[in-house]
Structure 1
């Protein structure tokens, strides 16, 4: 008498229908190769789930083959998820900005994604797989490797899956949990410890603030403050172009060697600079009201400085100018651009004006003005990626554009010296240009605020002083950020340094606020922790930044 087979007796029957991964083996071998070289932000469990779906035995051969085709879009999506490329949410949030790019610049960006060396390596791997598959069972190897990666991932949430050299980055020995150079006792770089370090950093930063005087003394000396905010310039870019030795960088009284811009986008960088009088805040907090004492230019305005704004562009792209006004509280009217020649065409097709002419106009207006004190925010974008010469379609040489800008600034410094005007110039870039890509991002991409992109050259120079100018710049090697600039301006705000016969620069910079290397964009956080950079994407797990 026959009876229906029980569920338990059907399981051995399914064993007859185990099939290999087939071409999916190459998919996972390709991922393993990229992972080993640091090019993936690999998610072991998600990949293991995909393998389980592909391997589960199905008796019907047609359904088995159909399953492989149905898995293709999921495999493609998972591959993208495993890369360091911007998430879908980030792309959607920047859709309006992407739509503003010129067609030639968009084509150039697409071409950058083609890596012929990687394509060649992938082809060699494909041929090797086809050849070795005659003798090796790659499915067993793939499943074993994925199983091991999942075991390691569960055992230690932040694992060193890659052959990464852990030599500390030069000049970056400052821990996110500290506000002094003292090194803490080292603890494992687990998710829990890294999250705690980030929370501790922001908790301490909320307590820090520059103390400006309520009023200036009767013997205060009037002077101007000129903050020059340059887009797309980092120490890494200077080294890549050989322009770190340009004479301009020798003309500062002070140079910050380890200044962190804390972001790799212009809008947040501008807001952070305008809010320099308070400690570093999380990215989302930049778009919320801040303590009135945080706004650097408001603090100066209350002491009698007239505030001004100048730019070599219109500020429309990405709502940059509106961000400065709404979230940086910079309400000064934009200095007239009428009659200024066009030097470049920007990535969105708008003109980039001649900076030398803008510098000249600003100085002429200051010399004719009745106000004895002023604070000007000057934003420059000639180094932005995608800028081109008028009448040309290809991006102009970054080095040529940087050489021109540095020459113009150098000549402007000559003019300021000759004018005898008392002036404090602060040159502080927004972020780097990412001229040299890494394993996380291609050249020119700035979605992730890498250390090479946020470590920017900051210089300060006083003009019109009784004391002679320094023969060589004094370097500030401590890890610093915007609060140090605000503090230094507060120390000099009475202007008496301009009448001194000698300037004790070492005393002026003693005890300047130090700030740990924590950088943040909408979907990425990069943090220095015990001498190594770690990255967290989209609120996920921390991983060691590949180098």
Structure 2
């Protein structure tokens, strides 16, 4: 009996011995305060539970002071990795998947990218926070505040304070009718559907299910009175409405030269290869990113559809197409097998981000027109790809990126001159200008300027225009604006409506009727590790199959 009492006394007296070993977080308090500051302003994709686990690991009492200090050293790589995980920066998987492309960048361009990561204002704010922490730590127990804040964040299911201060309610997408006519964009018919993680996942799945059912129907053959014409699809890298606004070129006269202009066109990606494949597969609804590299229905391939109707397909670029396997991707996944137009003798205009030449686009256009004037093809469809606006391009002999404004102005002037030449030629042509994606000139809370791992709304909203040359009808004064949310399927539909060429001989063109009922597509954009989707009028982002959060504004 006495032995039992003694054992119980020893057990009860040993419990308080843990008290002296609750040492607090020390300098780690600053680590979490820094995160809270970034989180509050929307600069982090914060993971509350993972951070709480790190705090628990750091606070667990260890009597041995040496082991306690060793734990802090061991936690440093964990803390660095978690900090990176909490940012919007590309994931490790994304970096590894693009290792070959990163290795292909020139050293000058890589150094320039590294310099962009240095934000002196944020470094100054971090210094002020550090001094304030050291000063206030004399009176405040920051460990208690940090633990309380993390506990509250976990209880609230809190993600981005700058955007959403309270958890959203729960209402299932399945409880509401999804509307998707052929011409209407995916949408939820009831405003009562809340932006929960479950509902956003369901909405994305529904979007892709419905897009699989949409397809442009080209005629089986052209009528006997069809009018021959040429189609030029000019695909431009790194050009968005946001970029044009940033360099004050959104009102350049070139944008007024179109017959039809899309104001709300979504490129659905922020990388060149996927953008080219999506454009070449424009005759079907928008596929998921992973499906771009799988065989599609034969009717999805725009240039194949045109070839079936007698158009000779052609390909022209102001670069060699080697970087990132771009040309290979067009041929393998876009079914564009046309030979590349010879670039021999065309002058170099720029040096690209990987050190390869970027050729003179005026000479490129002239060569195409000269060849077209001497060949005997009845109809042609040409895919142009232009990259003078790509980030990192520089003038020959210089080691810094040429100003985007100067390159953009030069390209618009070249296109404007090319349009003049086409006007004067008297040839019947349909020209479609559709950029791949934006240049991200203006960074946001998610990405630094120039980074494109996440397809932000400002980067994927691109200016798209369609112009008919050689028509009998009087040209309209200003472009017909298409304000509805649109993407590649609308381009394919317009080409199908004009493919017989009769509008070129018409005494009058009813542009309103021609564009009535064009397929609409809600803004859903995707790269390998990121999805950005518009839902109930707002944009949401999901990284690497994680949870959805509102896109920080």
Q: How would you bin the TM-score normalised by the shorter chain? A: over 0.9
1:169 matched to which residue of 2? none
In structure 2, the residue corresponding to 1:478 is in which secondary structure? coil
- Report the Cα offset of residue 312 of structure 1: 0.1
Label 1:163 to 1:259 Cα distance change in 2 as closer, same or farther (>3 A): closer
Which residue, out of 45, 51, 71, partners 2:49?
45
In structure 2, the residue corresponding to 1:536 is in which secondary structure? strand
- Unaligned stretches of 5+ in structure 1? 167-174
2:347 matched to which residue of 1? 341
In structure 1, the residue corresponding to 2:395 is in which secondary structure? coil
Distance in 2 between residues matched to 1:436 and 1:272, nearest whole Å: 25
1:161 matched to which residue of 2? 161
After superposition, the C-alpha distances for 1:346-404 in whole angstroms (9 at most, x for unaligned) are 00000000000000000111111111100000000000000000000000000000000
- Describe how 1:77-476 pairs up with structure 2 within 5 A: 77-153=81-157, 161-163=161-163, 178=180, 180=184, 184-186=189-191, 187-476=193-482
In structure 1, the residue corresponding to 2:210 is in which secondary structure? helix
Which residue, out of 32, 40, 61, partners 1:57?
61
Distance in 1 between residues matched to 2:28 and 2:9, nearest whole Å: 34
Distance in 2 between residues matched to 1:176 and 1:68, nearest whole Å: 52
Distance in 1 between residues matched to 2:502 and 2:452, nearest whole Å: 41
In structure 2, the residue corresponding to 1:428 is in which secondary structure? strand
2:74 matched to which residue of 1? 70
- Report the Cα offset of residue 160 of structure 1: 5.3
Distance in 2 between residues matched to 1:141 and 1:177, nearest whole Å: 48
Of residues 14-23 and 130-139 in structure 1, the stretch that sits farther from structure 2 once superposed is 14-23
In structure 1, the residue corresponding to 2:435 is in which secondary structure? coil
In structure 1, the residue corresponding to 2:367 is in which secondary structure? helix
In structure 2, the residue corresponding to 1:189 is in which secondary structure? coil
After superposition, the C-alpha distances for 1:98-137 in whole angstroms (9 at most, x for unaligned) are 0000010000000000000000000000000000000000
After superposition, the C-alpha distances for 1:303-362 in whole angstroms (9 at most, x for unaligned) are 000000000000000000000000000000000000000000000000000000000000
Of residues 215-224 and 468-477 in structure 1, the stretch that sits farther from structure 2 once superposed is 468-477
Distance in 1 between residues matched to 2:12 and 2:517, nearest whole Å: 74
- Report the Cα offset of residue 163 of structure 1: 4.5
8 Å CA contact retained: 1:227, 1:377: yes
- Report the Cα offset of residue 276 of structure 1: 0.1
1:499 matched to which residue of 2? 505
2:546 matched to which residue of 1? 540
- TM-score scaled by length of structure 1: 0.96
Label 1:87 to 1:402 Cα distance change in 2 as closer, same or farther (>3 A): same
After superposition, the C-alpha distances for 1:138-175 in whole angstroms (9 at most, x for unaligned) are 0000000000000011xxxx755325699xxxxxxxx9
Label 1:5 to 1:17 Cα distance change in 2 as closer, same or farther (>3 A): farther
Distance in 1 between residues matched to 2:11 and 2:495, nearest whole Å: 78
8 Å CA contact retained: 1:467, 1:501: yes
In structure 2, the residue corresponding to 1:434 is in which secondary structure? coil
In structure 1, the residue corresponding to 2:358 is in which secondary structure? strand
8 Å CA contact retained: 2:222, 2:309: yes
1:35 matched to which residue of 2? 39
Distance in 2 between residues matched to 1:274 and 1:304, nearest whole Å: 17
8 Å CA contact retained: 1:177, 1:197: no
Label 1:282 to 1:10 Cα distance change in 2 as closer, same or farther (>3 A): farther
8 Å CA contact retained: 1:176, 1:198: no
Label 1:191 to 1:165 Cα distance change in 2 as closer, same or farther (>3 A): closer
Distance in 1 between residues matched to 2:306 and 2:140, nearest whole Å: 72
- Report the Cα offset of residue 16 of structure 1: 2.7
In structure 2, the residue corresponding to 1:298 is in which secondary structure? helix
8 Å CA contact retained: 1:176, 1:517: no
Label 1:370 to 1:125 Cα distance change in 2 as closer, same or farther (>3 A): same
- Report the Cα offset of residue 474 of structure 1: 0.6
8 Å CA contact retained: 2:49, 2:154: yes
8 Å CA contact retained: 1:176, 1:518: no
Label 1:136 to 1:490 Cα distance change in 2 as closer, same or farther (>3 A): same
Distance in 2 between residues matched to 1:462 and 1:499, nearest whole Å: 11
8 Å CA contact retained: 1:176, 1:528: no
Distance in 2 between residues matched to 1:97 and 1:160, nearest whole Å: 32
